[in-house]
């Protein structure tokens, strides 16, 4: 049974790379069934990533397009 987790992501445009790296780790833990993200929130850049994650825009090909859009 996966552990239920609530995430709070910090803001800061310069930190967006770190936030994305953390979300990749969270995604792997979810895929392995170790955790289940039940709630997610954030401020500024963290809020953008939270919305994208909740909408599953950080998976598969959508992830590549999303990251390209963020970096430009």
Question: Residue 21: what pLDDT?
Answer: 86
Tens place of pLDDT for every residue, the chain, 72 residues? Answer: 999 999 999 988 778 888 888 888 999 999 999 999 999 999 998 998 899 889 888 777 777 777 777 776
Question: Residue 30: what pLDDT?
Answer: 93
Residue 53's Cβ-count burial label (10 Å; 0-12, 13-18, 19+) is buried
Whole-prediction pTM value?
A: 0.78
Beta-bridge mates of residue 12: none
Which is nearest to 29 in space by CA: 63, 2, 54? 2
Question: Residue 72: what pLDDT?
Answer: 66
């Amino acid at each position: 049974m996966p552990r239920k987790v609530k995430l709070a992501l910090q803001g800061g445009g310069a930190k967006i790379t770190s936030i994305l790296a953390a979300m990749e780790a969270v995604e792997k833990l979810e895929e392995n069934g170790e955790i289940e993200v039940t709630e997610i929130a954030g401020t500024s850049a963290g809020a953008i990533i939270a919305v994208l994650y909740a909408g599953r825009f950080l998976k598969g090909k959508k992830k590549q397009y999303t990251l390209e859009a963020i970096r430009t």
